[in-house]
Structure 1
Amino acid sequence: MRGAATILAFVLALLLATGPSRAEDGYDLWLRYRPLEPAYAKEVRQIAPALSVDAPPGPTIDAATAELSRALGIWLGHPLALVPDAREALQLCRRDRPCAAALPTLRGTGPPGSFGIDRVGSRTVISAADDIGLLYGSFALLRHIQQQAPLNALPQADAPRVAIRMLDHWDNLDGSVERGYAGRSIFQWWRLPGYVDPRLTDYARANASVGINAVAVNNVNAPATFLTPRFIAKTRALADTLRPYGIRVFLSARFSAPRDLGGLTTADPLDPEVQRWWQTKADEIYAAIPDFGGFLVKANSEGQPGPQDYGRSHADGANMLARAVGDRGIVIWRAFVYDPDPAVERTMQAYNAFQPLDGQFDSNVVVQVKNGPLDFQPREPVSPLFGAMPKTQLGLELQITKEYLGFSTHLAYLAPLFEEALDTGGLGRDERATLADIVAGGPTSLIAGIANIGSDRNWSGSHFDQANWYAFGRLAWDPTRSSDAIAREWVAQSFAPDPVLIDAVVPMMLTSRQTVVDYMTPLGLAHLMGSDHHYGPAPWVDDLERPDWNPVYYHRADADGIGFDRTAEGSNALGQYPAGLAKAYAEEGDPALPFLLWFHRKRWDDRLATGRTVWDELVVRYDRGVAGVDAMALQWNGLRSRFDARRHGEVAALLAVQQHEARWWRDASIAYFQSLSRRPLPPGHAAPPYPLEWYRTQRFPEAPGI
């Protein structure tokens, strides 16, 4: 019965794949199972002529067989046969079954999800100790074939280095998505639980294909409504849909829920009535969703309630919730906080709030720390908390949605940003330890990414933003992977395994993030974006409620110079880092100067390692960014014949928008900083076409994601 259902599902998928509705609109993401080159397809038929399954029946095994049938049926040219005899077949082998006796070694052992792929005589065997490992191994085999990689290099073993690989959705009750640039929420709360959009199964497939195994389904700024029985039932429907793909559901919990929902007069974490309320609520959720992952909490940040409202610490609040959850799940406590006293330098606030609490958090608490000490800027140094809390499980928070990097309009491949953070060394007592070393390993190790997934047909708002979702999953599984290798995988699967195409597109992707840095925040500048919507340049803003919400707070430009002195002579934010890393960040002899104005205040006429003055270098970087976008657009247009017309045209249109907006960033920023520096532009660099006041008066009430 299960085999018949799988074949029927494949036939339906094949009909859809060949019908007019299957235009190249980006819906298939990187799971585009298109016909292979004939010679390669012949080799695939030899290693996977049919499918044999030696594993207990279950929904995850069904998901694996359905995926293999979907892809191999297209590649073989006929439905994939399910056979009981594995002598000449692709086999799924659970290691507690008789099939394991024939394996030469038990490869791919390790944490949940580990798998091995072996050639055993005329069989190709995907083996794992658990069902989810067989699903991950199936996706790994399909990924290898999609790239038309040599099949004699097939044997492999893989295991996740990070236990919890999580997407955080900032989706709201009304279907809007905070910092979302790809349409409405895919969760459709209004229709749940009675109707679950079939698209959520494709969402689960995409996540499982890159190893993502956890999802927080609601905004960290969520109301307590998500904890009501009505919404627990809705969340249960989501959990039931995602579970076969190894994905556990988390909820963002509002700390004041005992007051908001329970009728209590307090949410003090040390109050026994509050503790009982959370224990009862956790029991209610686990009764409905036995594999519920736990709570994600934003507390005492940007107006959200928290334990400090009652004179308690973040550890008091996190531990109270962790004890309610118990050994059934975890509590993820975000370290993105504001000090009540804005006189404390902004980038030092999270360290000051959390580092003294090291060792005070329960074992099922993960403190989730953003990659940098500010707020997902195009470039930041790593947060000094990493390495400073050895007795606390720290999780890494990355932003996949491009809140500060051009929304879904600008092409910016974020894997180099992620890799730059993960490869940062000199953290903690062991100077050889990298950020990847700190966040990997252990049953509660965690890397989370703020998703940019919405109801747009292509999921992410633009085709190249899909690469950031893909890259996040691959790096969360193994933080040592390279941006280049991940980009090559993604291009081959999403477009075509064409070496000429790959060699042309991948370098463009790898330089795209630096290009954005150059035309938005060169030389270590940060937070120059417009207020609230964070769209477009606004380095002149100085009228917001808190000083550290204003761009002028961060660049500190005036007639004398520019930059934030975070050395010992200034705020001494450098003092929060280990000595070796602090020295590297303070380096001024590097021509790249990635953090110059982040850590130093410089006079406009100071001479830099590049041989230019600060003012001239700033202008050169802005123009380099504009030239980088022009080069991407030119490169893309030259590849027209190698792409399907629809996706090529959509990318080309967005690159034209990016060309316009890169110039806007360049012109507005130069106009503003020149009004302070009073220096002429270096020879060969054009003046902005409009006066500064024109740029200052631009308004964008329609900007998405607020």
Structure 2
Amino acid sequence: MKTATRTRLQLLIFVAACCVSHFACAQFYFENNDGYRLWQKYDTIEDKVTRQQMREKLKTLNISGNSATTKIIREELKYALTGLLGHPPRLSQKLEDQQLIIGTPETLPKKVYSQLNPLEKLGEEGYRIRSLTVQGKNLTVIIGNSDTAILYGTYHLLRLIQTHTNISALNITEIPKIDIRVLNHWDNLDRHVERGYAGESIWDWHKLPDYKYQRYYDYARANASIGINGTVLNNVNANPDILRPEYLQKVAALAEVFRPYGIKVYLSINFSSPHIIGGLKTSDPLNSEVAQWWKSKADEIYQLIPDFGGFLVKANSEGQPGPGDFGRTHAEGANMLADVLEPHGGIVMWRAFVYANEKNEERSKQAYSEFKPLDGQFRKNVLVQSKNGPIDFQPREPISPLFGATPQTPIMMEFQITLEYLGLSTHLVYLGPLYEEVLNTDTGAKGKGSTVGKIIDGSLFNNTISGMAGVANIGSDRNWTGHIMLQSNWYVFGRLAWNHEQTAKDIANDWIRMTLTNDHETVNTISNMMMASRETTVNYMTPLGLHHIMGTGHHYGPGPWVNNLGRDDWNPVYYHRADSQGIGFNRSATGVNAIEQYHPELRQLYAKPETTPDEFLLWFHHLPWEYKMKSGKSLWDELTHHYYQGAENVKQMHKEWLKLESKIDPHPFNQVKMALEIQEQEAIWWRNACVLYFQQFSRLPIPSGLEKPQGTLAEYKAAQFPYAPGQGG
């Protein structure tokens, strides 16, 4: 009998025996193993020895407490262990019968708790998993200072079981390195998702607050399983209507669903809301009536949602209103909001994605120029939320110079999980290596070892609050992310937000084992594909530091020729600056001098072409086509080889996947197979279009050994995609 079929029968029997609850009616759509269950796919462990060993350790369990969260823990363990081990665990109140004990210091038996002190350093979210011997009996214990903490610990134990890890001698202590770990949903009230490639928004605002989809609960389960503790429900280009009473009732309904999973809700706000929906003549943050309006609105929100997280603000960027409209600074705008949230324990996440062409400053420099002078002027409950790079979620960018530049102001990381500039949802691109590359970059802000990770977790400058946000790739598609492999980006974001010192490869291996297969050889094959996928994509899209050469609006496909947009810095030609003399953007001291914003170590590294790493060469320097690279090739030859290598690597990745047909369940196998077919075609499209375009400036031949690009440049330039996903946002 097939594993999926066997598991389906077992779980249906289990469900029939369960009382009805939000969890018991959870996602039992296993016919096609279509990706809905994400990494919480609790199929039966096929290895009988491993399964039996786990059974012996987990026959009986006790979860103390009767909160909504402890009820979730009981249901999750029943559901998971029934699927993984083939039978439900037995609940027992007698210590001599128990094998798995889960609780807090207030609820655990004293004989157990006494062996686990002290717990103060765990805080409210940290947990400990220990193998103990009590009265001659071997126990596995999960303890934390809150019910949310033991929920996190429960999911950690389930991960160990799913990945076939030996659980006989556990001594695990986990404490999150970052306080605020949130998803940013760029979702509109009409369910359109800006830069979303997995269907409509999962929030059905029309049916809320009364109709709560099972998907909301499963969303919360998935987030809790990777330590995400917050969600911003709406687009940063915010509709003021989200603050109207009828919509706050809908927000409160979602908050009620998420609360037992340790997840707070946040809202993006439109800075001009006092004027647009409040009827005031102004939204000036220093106007007393405006401040009172926001205070009243905050009081209203917290009356409905006592644990409301706070506001995310996009201000004075891409046409959004902000304090600059009234001659006020970002700090003055943020502080006004912070003051009304502070009594309730709320925070302000103020985005640093600001650029304005009237300032006549190169775009990559503008965030630093705006926020560096304001360091120390923000309230303690304000975080400045910066994208990882200085432009806009490119396949590769150097880090934003803001990291390390504001020691008195906590900088919150903003990563993109959705693939706005990386092939939408049809390209297999695992973002773990990108996140890892950024977090491990040494800024030199306080000498060697001043990594971005240490800046955003608050440890480098002793900040009292820290945060990491990810722009979600979640939608209404059955598999949540439009491409089952892209679930891994949601997963790795959560794991790294909890602990950025983990490796992207280890996290990828866990995700594969939990989602696709535990076959060792197959895991290695898929892991290698995933780990190479981001570099592969950079090669066929934007090698050697090229950036922002995607199509207009939808950012789909190549568009290095675009030069007709309303602002210079919206046009790809602005960024690559290809001409007969060479290619690249001179951001060195002889150009726009963006390198001056970095600390000396990085400034010196990027100052000259010969010291600049190849991956950032054309980001910082405009160089002749015949410039000699470290490889010995000319710049033209090197650039062309990268484009061809990227396309070839996708072809090889496709071949490797086809070899796994007998190792992967049919539905996920075919999902990925179809997407890889698209990716292979589009990698060649990118290669051909870019090489032909840049060749007209270099006037050099295609390097020997490489096939001539198919088609003509005119044909590639003529292609239009008015209805591509992401258009209009």
Pick the TM interval, shorter chain.
Answer: over 0.9
> In structure 1, the residue corresponding to 2:129 is in which secondary structure?
strand
Q: 1:376 aligns with which of 390, 393, 399?
A: 393
Q: 1:510 aligns with which of 515, 519, 531?
A: 531
Map of 1:444 onto structure 2: 465
Are 1:475 and 2:496 an aligned pair? Answer: yes
Are 1:69 and 2:85 an aligned pair? Answer: no
Q: Which amino acid in 2 is paired with 1:331?
A: V
How far the C-alpha of 1:478 sits from its partner, in A, is 0.2
Map of 2:124 onto structure 1: 112
Q: Does structure 1 retain, via aligned residues, the 8 Å contact 2:541–2:687?
A: yes
Are 1:149 and 2:165 an aligned pair? Answer: yes
Q: 1:644 aligns with which of 651, 657, 665?
A: 665
> In structure 2, the residue corresponding to 1:250 is in which secondary structure?
strand
Distance, in Å, in 2 between the alignment partners of 1:544 and 1:15 is: 51
How far the C-alpha of 1:590 sits from its partner, in A, is 6.9
Q: Which runs of structure 2 are paired with 1:614-653 in the superposition (5 Å)? A: 614-653=635-674
TM-score between the two structures when normalised by the length of structure 1: 0.97
Distance, in Å, in 1 between the alignment partners of 2:489 and 2:66 is: 34
Distance, in Å, in 2 between the alignment partners of 1:12 and 1:35 is: 23
Distance, in Å, in 2 between the alignment partners of 1:360 and 1:275 is: 18
Q: Does structure 2 retain, via aligned residues, the 8 Å contact 1:40–1:148?
A: yes
Q: Which runs of structure 2 are paired with 1:325-404 in the superposition (5 Å)? A: 325-327=341-343, 328-341=345-358, 343-404=360-421
Map of 2:337 onto structure 1: 321
Map of 1:570 onto structure 2: 591
- The number of residues matched between the two structures is 701
Q: Does structure 1 retain, via aligned residues, the 8 Å contact 2:588–2:606?
A: no
Distance, in Å, in 1 between the alignment partners of 2:20 and 2:483 is: 28
Over 3 Å counting, the alpha-carbon distance change for 1:473 and 1:102 in structure 2 is same
Q: Which runs of structure 2 are paired with 1:230-629 in the superposition (5 Å)? A: 230-327=246-343, 328-341=345-358, 343-441=360-458, 444-586=465-607, 588-589=609-610, 593-629=614-650
Q: Which runs of structure 2 are paired with 1:126-145 in the superposition (5 Å)? A: 126-145=142-161
Map of 2:680 onto structure 1: 659
Distance, in Å, in 1 between the alignment partners of 2:698 and 2:110 is: 72
Distance, in Å, in 2 between the alignment partners of 1:699 and 1:141 is: 50
Q: Does structure 2 retain, via aligned residues, the 8 Å contact 1:86–1:123?
A: no
Q: Which amino acid in 2 is paired with 1:253?
A: I
Distance, in Å, in 2 between the alignment partners of 1:408 and 1:82 is: 43
How far the C-alpha of 1:572 sits from its partner, in A, is 0.6
Distance, in Å, in 2 between the alignment partners of 1:434 and 1:144 is: 30
Q: Does structure 2 retain, via aligned residues, the 8 Å contact 1:371–1:383?
A: yes
Distance, in Å, in 1 between the alignment partners of 2:245 and 2:150 is: 35
Are 1:705 and 2:722 an aligned pair? Answer: no
Distance, in Å, in 1 between the alignment partners of 2:227 and 2:62 is: 23
Distance, in Å, in 2 between the alignment partners of 1:420 and 1:100 is: 45
> In structure 2, the residue corresponding to 1:424 is in which secondary structure?
coil
Q: Which runs of structure 2 are paired with 1:99-248 in the superposition (5 Å)? A: 99-103=109-113, 104-106=115-117, 109-121=121-133, 122-248=138-264
Distance, in Å, in 1 between the alignment partners of 2:199 and 2:642 is: 33
Distance, in Å, in 1 between the alignment partners of 2:273 and 2:29 is: 49
Map of 1:81 onto structure 2: 90
Q: Does structure 1 retain, via aligned residues, the 8 Å contact 2:23–2:75?
A: no
CA deviations 1:664-697 (Å, max 9, x no partner) are 0000101111111111111112222111111111
Distance, in Å, in 2 between the alignment partners of 1:343 and 1:351 is: 14
Over 3 Å counting, the alpha-carbon distance change for 1:670 and 1:430 in structure 2 is same
More moved, 120-129 vs 147-156: 147-156
> In structure 2, the residue corresponding to 1:657 is in which secondary structure?
helix
> In structure 2, the residue corresponding to 1:472 is in which secondary structure?
helix
Q: Does structure 2 retain, via aligned residues, the 8 Å contact 1:564–1:600?
A: yes
More moved, 424-433 vs 520-529: 424-433
Are 1:91 and 2:105 an aligned pair? Answer: no
Distance, in Å, in 1 between the alignment partners of 2:608 and 2:526 is: 33
Over 3 Å counting, the alpha-carbon distance change for 1:20 and 1:453 in structure 2 is closer
Q: Does structure 1 retain, via aligned residues, the 8 Å contact 2:131–2:169?
A: no
Unaligned runs of 5+ residues in structure 1 are none
Q: Does structure 1 retain, via aligned residues, the 8 Å contact 2:102–2:108?
A: no
Unaligned runs of 5+ residues in structure 2 are 1-13
CA deviations 1:177-197 (Å, max 9, x no partner) are 000000011110010001011
Q: Compute the RMSD of aligned alpha carbons.
A: 1.9
Over 3 Å counting, the alpha-carbon distance change for 1:427 and 1:339 in structure 2 is farther
Distance, in Å, in 2 between the alignment partners of 1:238 and 1:334 is: 24
Over 3 Å counting, the alpha-carbon distance change for 1:66 and 1:541 in structure 2 is same
CA deviations 1:202-231 (Å, max 9, x no partner) are 000000000000000000001100000010
More moved, 270-279 vs 586-595: 586-595
More moved, 86-95 vs 623-632: 86-95
Distance, in Å, in 2 between the alignment partners of 1:23 and 1:385 is: 46
Percent same amino acid at aligned positions? 47
> In structure 2, the residue corresponding to 1:249 is in which secondary structure?
strand
Distance, in Å, in 2 between the alignment partners of 1:608 and 1:62 is: 61
Q: Does structure 1 retain, via aligned residues, the 8 Å contact 2:605–2:612?
A: no
Q: Does structure 2 retain, via aligned residues, the 8 Å contact 1:591–1:610?
A: no
TM-score between the two structures when normalised by the length of structure 2: 0.94
How far the C-alpha of 1:7 sits from its partner, in A, is 6.7
> In structure 1, the residue corresponding to 2:324 is in which secondary structure?
helix
Q: Does structure 2 retain, via aligned residues, the 8 Å contact 1:214–1:247?
A: yes
Distance, in Å, in 2 between the alignment partners of 1:63 and 1:50 is: 17
> In structure 2, the residue corresponding to 1:281 is in which secondary structure?
helix
Over 3 Å counting, the alpha-carbon distance change for 1:9 and 1:124 in structure 2 is farther
Q: Does structure 2 retain, via aligned residues, the 8 Å contact 1:163–1:443?
A: no
Over 3 Å counting, the alpha-carbon distance change for 1:97 and 1:14 in structure 2 is closer
Q: Which amino acid in 2 is paired with 1:449?
A: G
Distance, in Å, in 2 between the alignment partners of 1:98 and 1:201 is: 28
Q: Which amino acid in 2 is paired with 1:319?
A: N
CA deviations 1:394-449 (Å, max 9, x no partner) are 10000000000001100000000000000001341333210000011455210000
Q: Does structure 2 retain, via aligned residues, the 8 Å contact 1:588–1:609?
A: no
How far the C-alpha of 1:312 sits from its partner, in A, is 0.4
Distance, in Å, in 2 between the alignment partners of 1:350 and 1:148 is: 46
> In structure 1, the residue corresponding to 2:358 is in which secondary structure?
coil
Over 3 Å counting, the alpha-carbon distance change for 1:100 and 1:507 in structure 2 is farther
How far the C-alpha of 1:95 sits from its partner, in A, is 1.2
Q: Which amino acid in 2 is paired with 1:450?
A: V
> In structure 2, the residue corresponding to 1:165 is in which secondary structure?
strand
Distance, in Å, in 2 between the alignment partners of 1:341 and 1:20 is: 54
Over 3 Å counting, the alpha-carbon distance change for 1:492 and 1:288 in structure 2 is same
